[in-house]
Chain A
């Protein structure tokens, strides 16, 4: 990766501005000079915000937290793609070096009926929490933690479960789905338990209540377009959706 670079470029940004959840928004153009190519995409937005604050303007609101690609807080549609053009990369891990000098970058919020825009680029993704609360857990008596190896688990299942558990709940799958479906997210949350013995006990109720919640919240229907898998920053596979379908079918009997 050859160390830090001093290279600076100019970007033409087109950013969605919206006062609050009710107001109509619009795209606003910003020209930003002296952007270091080593900056992350969010640092670039920080740079713009510092300028806006200096100029007495309202800074652009956007979601972020860890900036390490592990929390799922960041979002953004960057040039028409959730988390930008890089595969398996969150917006916070996307770097300005991926863009060219004088390039125009369109930045907008994730869109789905079940998501609402709070302000500018900040999106209410609490619908995802609601899906998890509907059944994305196991019920156990608290107390002393049992010995981790007390229950034997097939290595393959343990790994598949961990793969599903990689989901950071950012909502990119929904944002990029042509149908605004939440199947990949929900299936990851179903799968991480369905694969483990501890999760089998409530498997039947879990898949039913979580799918029901997902449908009630107004997410679309999956038509196997695979844009979710393609855009997921954590590489969650649609085989999880197939597993959720199996779990659902099993729950009918």
Chain B
């Protein structure tokens, strides 16, 4: 029984489902992250209070743990898929040409864009979460001045450059990922598939432009 269960969990369709669900959850995280960023543009104190409330809430550890599990599931499954798919054709083609009617740049580079995003996330955490600590006091309460850190970071043009670059990579990844996740979860359909693809592309453009805009906003705001 347990062997059978293992087999089901390891089946190619289960891996698709894992990839799809974890990918979509990570996309919803992106939306949440975006909403948090919006506060940056509203008011420095508000942004700092939001960040403070977030990290001082004891539930943050549970949320972080869940996020890490989802993220690792996505990464590990992606790497497993890549290795298994590579070995599924050990004798490579002498010549292989794409039809031009199927696979896209985004779909054929998922593992590369994925690895780049992973590297970016590590850098991003080092830059901010584990970055320099500036203190401030809002309404008599001492807290971290994350707003100042962000503003300082994006005063350096090079940082803006590679952050926008990373967002383009993320955009490419989700432009295939979103549609692909729905297809994997069985929602592909003669007519809906084309809508799903459009939704994926819109989300990709939103990610690139939306997140890049904050870096430029921080630069223009400057101030420190």
Contact = CB atoms under 8 A, between A and B. Distances in A.
Interface of A: 16, 27, 77, 79-81, 87, 106, 108, 111-114, 176, 178-181, 183, 208, 211-212, 214-215, 218-231, 237-239, 241-246, 248-249, 252
A79 B88 contact: no
A177 B114 CA distance: 20
Contacts of B186: 242-243, 245-246, 248-249
Interface string B13-46: 1011100000000000000000000000000000
Interface in B64-104: 81, 84-85, 87-103
A242 B16 contact: no
Contacts of A176: 99, 102
A248 to B, nearest CB: 4
B97 A81 contact: yes
Interface of B: 7-8, 10-13, 15-17, 81, 84-85, 87-103, 107-108, 110, 176, 179-180, 183-190, 193
B184 to A, nearest CB: 6
A210 B12 CA distance: 11
B13 A244 contact: yes
B189 to A, nearest CB: 6
23 contacts: A81-B97, A112-B88, A113-B90, A178-B85, A180-B89, A181-B12, A211-B11, A215-B11, A220-B12, A220-B88, A223-B85, A224-B180, A227-B102, A227-B103, A228-B102, A230-B101, A231-B101, A238-B193, A239-B190, A242-B189, A242-B193, A245-B13, A245-B183
Contacts of A112: 88-89
B95 A79 contact: yes
Contacts of B89: 111-113, 179-180, 220
Contacts of A79: 95, 97
A242 to B, nearest CB: 3
A226 B103 contact: yes
Contacts of A224: 107, 176, 179-180, 183-184
Given A81-B99, A215-B12, A237-B190, A223 B110 contact: yes
Contacts of B190: 237, 239
Contacts of B180: 223-224
Contact of A249 (B17, B85, B96, B189): B17
B15 A225 contact: no
Contacts of B100: 230
B96 A77 contact: yes
A151 B186 CA distance: 27
Contacts of A16: 94
A243 B90 CA distance: 29
Contact of A179 (B11, B85, B94, B99): B85
A43 to B, nearest CB: 23
B186 to A, nearest CB: 3
A199 to B, nearest CB: 17
B74 to A, nearest CB: 13
B118 to A, nearest CB: 17
A229 B188 contact: no
A214 B12 contact: yes
A248 B9 CA distance: 12
A225 B103 contact: yes
A231 B107 contact: no
Nearest to A27: B94
User: Which residue, of A214, A225, A228, has the highest number of chain B Cβ atoms within 10 A?
Assistant: A225
B188 A241 contact: yes
Contact of A252 (B8, B84, B88, B94): B8
A31 to B, nearest CB: 18
Given A221-B85, A249-B17, A208 B97 contact: no
A225 B17 contact: no
A242 B102 CA distance: 16
Given A87-B101, A242-B183, A222 B12 contact: yes
